Structure 1
């Protein structure tokens, strides 16, 4: 019986065939996450959340909250697809070093883009303070999260590849419980450390422990994807499973919203990032649920959807370059050089966000073309 059709057991260890070529559906899912992020950053960076009309907050800005969970989850999926099957081979030290070098590259751009983001409105002393981890920026902090995650994730991948399924699921549950427990700790009054580990309500950054479950969920999905992607029937089961789990989580969010007797207020709270830092139940039910639905749709569409939505697929194929492009244009060019904050209407900011998605795809394509024709 082919591996793809074997039933999953609690004692199963990851059994991963090596990916044959790039899975474009993963690029599409990542591109959707980045596209939603770009729209959100264009609005919040150029208009400001307080100036967004009600119809913009719900449903438009509300739906962009799928982005962060999808982005982090796809990070785990990509690690499983590209690296997990190599952790028991002689080639692993070289691949691990590649991930650590990527961490250095991401960290460099995180600090460079911190300067670009803060340049229009902060004195040099406060920018230096952010560069030295005395405070945090806002829009570029997801890069700071990835730079640190790329240091510790390569250390746990070999352990994950040898662990039975029950222990991998238990690890996700334990880290989630640990996150909730640590929220009551003050960390000796060190808010920066707390923000880096489990999020802090006064800092718009991403905790390594609090977001680790999303990475590990991505590893599980990546394993399942490798085992069944080439078989239409089993891939369909995976898609339906992800779709069902996502729908249940969104239903859970609306169940809590109906229980509060004000559904619109609950939706507006999510749109305003209530429960994002640190992660709250309602926000995560909606954000992760929507992320699972979008991921399922991307996998269902496969290569055809990736081709039809080519700009998003290109953006997802080089997330770092797309992130750099949109931050530079929004904060260095539009906000700082052109002094454009507050002069755009909400529809105009959405239009700029859409153009930035296309522009990022064009920039990635052009840079590849130039590299190929040197």
Structure 2
């Protein structure tokens, strides 16, 4: 068996031999970085973060969003792709659509939680009706919509040859880049939903879909390689190697532009995140590939050692709900804590929230098992 696939090959995937805990770990790392980032930006504010906090700490949290989306694609491949040509597919497709409804509900509920401390009711209602966007919870809005169209794509993906799958990924990235120059008839909300908009913190479906597709490709390779040691080693080396090259390309681009530290500060301040910019994406995706590779290399052992992150990654939605409620409803609104924390204290809060989310997930599972 080899991870090298023929260009005309259609996926013939084995089913996963049980849950792959390394995927949960990778997702948990992404959520952990996100929680730390949200604790800092939500309690201190980016403008108040000291330079030594922006680089390297807040700088490194930029791996989070790309890793989260990549793992989304990986998990889809592992859990669903092999079933698209079976009689079970209709039930699994319905499961994804019901999950979309669940995520959409929590997206709307958490908009209220996020905006409650500092927004007028009219602004909250406008946001709920897609008249504008929130900030910290918008990633849920992206997933709610993605879970509607992804089930329609998966059967086509499963029947497409490798060159078609890669071509679709590259073509979609080029299309999204071209659409950035289209005005969408002046409808900024629509543009933000489709390909991102610089004035809104929404995640465009077309601009992020290539990351989902890359995750699907990695997931296909993972199913072939994970349970064979030497093949898994090759996959890990490929992921880490490509990731390191992308990070090196980011620094090379920064050197050409003449100020490496300024480039790092720009990424830390989210320049190039919405819409996706070359420098930001080179760094973010490169780091995400390195972290994903390391999680796969660590496997079940690393998942046990880093148990809190693995548990958080095993129920991403519950972890997301927990940290948003704690930061914005409890700390900012009920305890009026905005601006009351130093940067180091906010980092500490982020760490506590990671552990708290893990404990909450474990406790709710324990309660469900003992009813």
Instruction: Find the counterpart in structure 1 of residue 233 from structure 2.
Output: 236
- Name 2:276's counterpart in structure 1: 279
Contact 2:29 2:313 in 1 (8 A): yes
- Match in the other structure for 2:62: 65
Measure, in 2, the Cα distance between the counterparts of 1:122 and 1:47: 18
Alpha-carbon separation, structure 2, partners of 1:15 and 1:284 = 31
1:169 is matched with 166
Question: 2:367 is matched with which residue: 351, 367, 370?
Answer: 370
1:6 Cα deviation after fit: 6.9
CA distance in 2, matches of 1:22, 1:274: 37
Q: Quote how far apart the aligned CAs of 1:7 are.
A: 4.1
Distance 2:254 2:191 in 1: 29
CA distance in 1, matches of 2:131, 2:260: 38
Q: Does 2:104 align with 1:107?
A: yes
Among candidates 140, 143, 148, match of residue 140 of structure 2: 143
Q: 1:356 to 1:66 in 2, by over 3 A?
A: same
* TM-score (norm: length of structure 1): 0.99
1:5 CA displacement:
3.0
Q: How does 1:291-310 map to 2 (within 5 A)?
A: 291-310=288-307
The answer for the alignment partner of 2:131 in structure 1 is 134
Equivalent residue for 1:81, pick from 71, 78, 81: 78
* CA distance in structure 1 between the partners assigned to 2:4 and 2:253 by the alignment: 35
Name the structure 2 match of 1:190: 187
Distance in 2 (alpha carbons) for counterparts of 1:194 and 1:7: 38
Deviates more, 1:48-57 or 1:5-14: 5-14
Count of residues in correspondence between the two structures = 371
Which residue of structure 1 lines up, in the alignment, with residue 258 of structure 2? Answer: 261
SS of 2:312's partner is helix
Distance 2:288 2:226 in 1: 19
Q: Distance in 2 between matches of 1:230 and 1:180?
A: 38
2:30 paired with 1:18 = no
**C-alpha separation between the residues in 2 aligned to 1:254 and 1:50?**
24
Aligned to 1:344: 341
> Alpha-carbon deviations, 1:116-139, whole Å to 9, x = none?
000011111110000000000000
Mapped partners of 2:5, 2:74: distance in 1: 19
Q: Is the 8 A contact 2:3 2:224 kept in 1?
A: no
Paired with 2:85 and 2:328, the residues of 1 have a C-alpha distance of 44
Deviation, structure 1 residue 8: 1.3
Say which SS state the counterpart of residue 175 (structure 1) adopts.
helix
List gaps (5 residues or longer) in structure 1: none
Q: How does 1:207-246 map to 2 (within 5 A)?
A: 207-246=204-243
- Give 1:78 deviation, angstroms: 0.3
CA contact (8 A) 2:21 2:299 kept: yes
Aligned twin of 2:121: 124
CA contact (8 A) 2:126 2:132 kept: yes
Deviations 1:249-278 (A, max 9, x none): 000000001111110000000000000000
What is the rounded CA distance, in whole Å, between the counterparts of 2:76 and 2:177 in structure 1?
A: 26
Name the counterpart of 1:92: 89
1:249 aligns with 2:246: yes
CA-atom RMSD in angstroms: 0.6
CA distance in 2, matches of 1:365, 1:37: 20
Write the distance in 1 (CA, Å) between the matches of 2:74 and 2:6: 21
TM-score, scaled to structure 2: 0.99
* 3-state SS of paired residue (1:133): coil
Task: Say if 1:148 and 1:6 are closer, same or farther in 2 by CA, change over 3 A.
Answer: closer
Aligned counterpart, 1:311: 308
* Separation in 2, partners of 1:241, 1:108: 38
Q: How far apart, CA to CA, are the structure 2 residues paired with 1:365 and 1:121?
A: 32
CA shift in 2, pair 1:117/1:6, >3 Å: closer
